[in-house]
Amino acid sequence: MKHAKHIIKLENVWKTYEVGEVKVHALTGLTLNVHKGEFIAVMGPSGSGKTTAMNMIGCLDVPSKGRIYLEGKDISKLHESDLAQIRGQKIGFIFQKFNLIPTLSAKGNIMLPMTFQGKNQKEKSQRAEYLLDLVGLKDRMDHLPTELSGGQQQRVAIARALANDPDVILADEPTGNLDTKTGTTVMDYLKKLHDVEKKTIVLVTHDPNIAKKADRIERLRDGRLIKTE
Protein backbone atom coordinates (compact mmCIF):
# COMPACT_ATOMS: atom_id res chain seq x y z
CA MET A 1 0.00 0.00 0.00
CA LYS A 2 1.42 3.37 -0.97
CA HIS A 3 0.97 6.20 1.52
CA ALA A 4 1.35 9.96 1.37
CA LYS A 5 4.01 11.79 3.37
CA HIS A 6 4.27 11.16 7.09
CA ILE A 7 1.61 12.65 9.34
CA ILE A 8 3.59 11.95 12.54
CA LYS A 9 7.35 11.71 12.92
CA LEU A 10 9.29 10.97 16.10
CA GLU A 11 12.97 11.80 15.63
CA ASN A 12 15.50 10.47 18.19
CA VAL A 13 12.99 10.97 21.03
CA TRP A 14 14.07 10.45 24.63
CA LYS A 15 11.82 10.58 27.68
CA THR A 16 13.39 10.50 31.11
CA TYR A 17 11.47 10.51 34.38
CA GLU A 18 13.06 11.29 37.72
CA VAL A 19 11.86 8.97 40.49
CA GLY A 20 13.47 10.36 43.61
CA GLU A 21 17.16 10.41 42.78
CA VAL A 22 16.83 7.73 40.11
CA LYS A 23 16.47 8.57 36.42
CA VAL A 24 14.22 6.22 34.45
CA HIS A 25 14.63 6.29 30.67
CA ALA A 26 11.24 5.34 29.19
CA LEU A 27 12.30 6.21 25.62
CA THR A 28 15.94 6.04 24.48
CA GLY A 29 16.19 7.55 21.02
CA LEU A 30 12.93 6.39 19.43
CA THR A 31 12.56 7.23 15.74
CA LEU A 32 9.21 6.38 14.15
CA ASN A 33 7.33 7.56 11.07
CA VAL A 34 3.57 7.21 10.64
CA HIS A 35 2.27 7.98 7.15
CA LYS A 36 -1.14 9.42 6.38
CA GLY A 37 -3.72 6.68 5.90
CA GLU A 38 -1.54 4.02 7.51
CA PHE A 39 -2.58 1.44 10.13
CA ILE A 40 0.36 0.52 12.36
CA ALA A 41 0.62 -1.65 15.47
CA VAL A 42 3.16 -0.96 18.21
CA MET A 43 4.20 -4.03 20.18
CA GLY A 44 6.69 -4.79 22.93
CA PRO A 45 7.04 -6.33 26.38
CA SER A 46 5.93 -4.55 29.55
CA GLY A 47 8.27 -1.61 30.18
CA SER A 48 9.34 -1.34 26.54
CA GLY A 49 8.04 2.24 26.24
CA LYS A 50 4.82 1.57 24.29
CA THR A 51 2.60 3.77 26.44
CA THR A 52 5.17 6.58 26.59
CA ALA A 53 5.50 6.42 22.80
CA MET A 54 1.70 6.63 22.52
CA ASN A 55 1.70 9.68 24.80
CA MET A 56 4.26 11.36 22.55
CA ILE A 57 2.33 10.58 19.37
CA GLY A 58 -0.88 11.77 21.01
CA CYS A 59 0.53 15.10 22.23
CA LEU A 60 -0.12 14.06 25.84
CA ASP A 61 3.51 14.67 26.81
CA VAL A 62 6.66 16.34 25.49
CA PRO A 63 10.05 14.67 25.01
CA SER A 64 13.10 15.23 27.21
CA LYS A 65 15.17 15.26 24.00
CA GLY A 66 14.41 14.87 20.31
CA ARG A 67 11.73 16.18 17.97
CA ILE A 68 8.11 15.33 17.25
CA TYR A 69 6.51 16.53 14.03
CA LEU A 70 2.78 16.56 13.28
CA GLU A 71 2.06 17.23 9.60
CA GLY A 72 5.56 18.68 9.31
CA LYS A 73 5.21 21.06 12.27
CA ASP A 74 7.57 20.65 15.23
CA ILE A 75 5.32 20.23 18.29
CA SER A 76 7.97 19.00 20.72
CA LYS A 77 8.30 22.32 22.55
CA LEU A 78 4.69 23.52 22.59
CA HIS A 79 2.91 24.55 25.79
CA GLU A 80 0.15 22.34 27.21
CA SER A 81 -2.63 24.70 26.07
CA ASP A 82 -1.40 24.43 22.47
CA LEU A 83 -1.03 20.65 22.72
CA ALA A 84 -4.57 20.40 24.10
CA GLN A 85 -5.89 22.30 21.09
CA ILE A 86 -4.03 19.97 18.71
CA ARG A 87 -5.34 16.90 20.55
CA GLY A 88 -8.91 18.16 20.31
CA GLN A 89 -8.73 18.80 16.57
CA LYS A 90 -6.30 16.24 15.19
CA ILE A 91 -6.27 13.13 17.41
CA GLY A 92 -8.90 10.72 18.70
CA PHE A 93 -8.17 8.39 21.62
CA ILE A 94 -9.49 4.91 22.40
CA PHE A 95 -8.47 3.45 25.76
CA GLN A 96 -8.48 -0.04 27.25
CA LYS A 97 -10.74 1.05 30.12
CA PHE A 98 -13.19 2.94 27.84
CA ASN A 99 -13.04 6.12 30.05
CA LEU A 100 -16.69 6.98 29.41
CA ILE A 101 -18.38 9.55 31.68
CA PRO A 102 -20.77 7.41 33.80
CA THR A 103 -23.41 10.12 34.22
CA LEU A 104 -23.70 10.82 30.48
CA SER A 105 -25.61 8.75 27.93
CA ALA A 106 -23.84 7.15 24.99
CA LYS A 107 -24.87 10.13 22.88
CA GLY A 108 -23.79 12.59 25.59
CA ASN A 109 -20.33 11.00 25.80
CA ILE A 110 -19.85 11.45 22.06
CA MET A 111 -21.10 15.03 22.10
CA LEU A 112 -18.70 16.07 24.88
CA PRO A 113 -15.48 16.45 22.80
CA MET A 114 -17.41 18.59 20.30
CA THR A 115 -18.45 20.95 23.13
CA PHE A 116 -14.77 21.75 23.74
CA GLN A 117 -14.42 22.66 20.05
CA GLY A 118 -17.33 25.09 20.15
CA LYS A 119 -19.83 23.12 18.03
CA ASN A 120 -23.48 24.10 18.39
CA GLN A 121 -26.11 21.76 19.83
CA LYS A 122 -27.59 20.75 16.47
CA GLU A 123 -24.17 19.93 15.00
CA LYS A 124 -23.23 17.88 18.06
CA SER A 125 -26.50 15.96 18.10
CA GLN A 126 -26.44 15.11 14.39
CA ARG A 127 -22.77 14.07 14.46
CA ALA A 128 -23.26 11.89 17.57
CA GLU A 129 -26.24 10.10 16.03
CA TYR A 130 -24.34 9.52 12.78
CA LEU A 131 -21.39 8.03 14.68
CA LEU A 132 -23.60 5.81 16.85
CA ASP A 133 -25.16 4.52 13.64
CA LEU A 134 -21.66 3.90 12.25
CA VAL A 135 -20.80 1.61 15.18
CA GLY A 136 -24.21 -0.06 15.22
CA LEU A 137 -25.52 1.51 18.43
CA LYS A 138 -28.06 4.10 17.35
CA ASP A 139 -30.73 2.22 19.33
CA ARG A 140 -28.61 2.61 22.49
CA MET A 141 -28.00 6.37 22.29
CA ASP A 142 -29.86 7.18 25.52
CA HIS A 143 -28.30 4.36 27.55
CA LEU A 144 -25.77 5.08 30.31
CA PRO A 145 -22.43 3.23 30.19
CA THR A 146 -23.56 0.92 33.02
CA GLU A 147 -26.46 -0.17 30.80
CA LEU A 148 -24.10 -1.26 28.01
CA SER A 149 -21.89 -4.33 27.64
CA GLY A 150 -18.09 -3.97 27.54
CA GLY A 151 -18.08 -4.32 23.77
CA GLN A 152 -20.82 -1.71 23.39
CA GLN A 153 -18.95 0.69 25.67
CA GLN A 154 -15.82 0.30 23.56
CA ARG A 155 -17.83 0.99 20.40
CA VAL A 156 -19.15 4.18 22.04
CA ALA A 157 -15.52 5.05 22.84
CA ILE A 158 -14.62 4.53 19.17
CA ALA A 159 -17.48 6.82 18.13
CA ARG A 160 -16.34 9.41 20.69
CA ALA A 161 -12.81 9.27 19.27
CA LEU A 162 -14.29 10.24 15.89
CA ALA A 163 -16.39 13.11 17.25
CA ASN A 164 -14.21 15.92 15.88
CA ASP A 165 -13.27 14.00 12.72
CA PRO A 166 -9.59 13.67 13.73
CA ASP A 167 -6.80 12.78 11.32
CA VAL A 168 -5.31 10.16 13.65
CA ILE A 169 -6.88 7.52 15.91
CA LEU A 170 -4.70 6.24 18.78
CA ALA A 171 -5.91 2.98 20.29
CA ASP A 172 -4.17 1.86 23.50
CA GLU A 173 -4.93 -1.86 24.10
CA PRO A 174 -8.53 -1.32 22.86
CA THR A 175 -9.41 -5.02 23.19
CA GLY A 176 -7.58 -5.60 26.49
CA ASN A 177 -10.75 -5.73 28.63
CA LEU A 178 -12.83 -7.69 26.13
CA ASP A 179 -13.34 -11.37 25.39
CA THR A 180 -11.94 -12.71 22.11
CA LYS A 181 -15.20 -12.55 20.15
CA THR A 182 -16.03 -9.01 21.29
CA GLY A 183 -12.43 -7.93 20.69
CA THR A 184 -12.66 -9.21 17.12
CA THR A 185 -15.83 -7.13 16.61
CA VAL A 186 -14.10 -4.01 17.92
CA MET A 187 -11.11 -4.64 15.63
CA ASP A 188 -13.50 -5.00 12.68
CA TYR A 189 -14.76 -1.49 13.43
CA LEU A 190 -11.21 -0.14 13.57
CA LYS A 191 -10.45 -1.80 10.22
CA LYS A 192 -13.59 -0.20 8.82
CA LEU A 193 -12.40 3.22 9.99
CA HIS A 194 -9.12 2.60 8.21
CA ASP A 195 -10.47 1.06 5.01
CA VAL A 196 -13.66 3.12 4.55
CA GLU A 197 -13.10 6.36 6.50
CA LYS A 198 -9.38 6.43 5.53
CA LYS A 199 -8.26 7.19 9.08
CA THR A 200 -4.65 6.90 10.21
CA ILE A 201 -4.57 4.41 13.09
CA VAL A 202 -1.83 3.73 15.64
CA LEU A 203 -2.61 0.69 17.79
CA VAL A 204 -0.75 -0.45 20.91
CA THR A 205 -1.31 -4.13 21.69
CA HIS A 206 0.20 -7.17 23.36
CA ASP A 207 -1.79 -9.51 21.12
CA PRO A 208 -0.02 -10.70 17.92
CA ASN A 209 -3.37 -11.73 16.40
CA ILE A 210 -4.66 -8.18 16.85
CA ALA A 211 -1.42 -6.70 15.49
CA LYS A 212 -1.78 -8.73 12.28
CA LYS A 213 -4.70 -6.49 11.29
CA ALA A 214 -2.27 -3.59 10.80
CA ASP A 215 -0.31 -2.64 7.67
CA ARG A 216 2.92 -2.99 9.64
CA ILE A 217 4.13 -3.85 13.13
CA GLU A 218 6.73 -1.79 14.98
CA ARG A 219 8.42 -3.64 17.86
CA LEU A 220 9.86 -1.71 20.79
CA ARG A 221 12.31 -2.77 23.45
CA ASP A 222 14.03 -0.64 26.09
CA GLY A 223 12.49 2.53 24.71
CA ARG A 224 13.57 2.23 21.10
CA LEU A 225 12.50 0.58 17.86
CA ILE A 226 14.15 -2.80 17.30
CA LYS A 227 12.21 -4.30 14.39
CA THR A 228 9.70 -3.42 11.65
CA GLU A 229 7.49 -6.13 10.15
Domains in the chain, number: 1
pLDDT category at 4 given cuts 50, 70, 90 is: low
Instruction: Give the Cα-Cα-Cα angle 15, 99, 73 (nearest 5 degrees).
Output: 40
Evaluate if residue 31 carries a pLDDT over 80: yes
Please provide the average confidence, as pLDDT, over all residues in the chain. Answer: 88
Range of 212's domain? 6-228
Which pairs count as long-range contacts for 181-189, CB under 8 Å and 24+ apart, including other chains? Answer: 182/149, 182/150, 182/151, 182/154, 183/207, 183/210, 185/151, 186/151, 186/154, 186/155, 186/158, 187/213, 189/135, 189/155, 189/158
Residue 1 in domain: no
Give the tens place of pLDDT for each residue, 133-165: 988 899 999 999 999 998 899 899 989 998 988
Q: What is the pLDDT of residue 119?
A: 85
Domain of residue 61, CATH code: 3.40.50.300
- 69 lies in a domain? yes
Banded model confidence at residue 78, pLDDT cuts 50, 70, 90 = confident
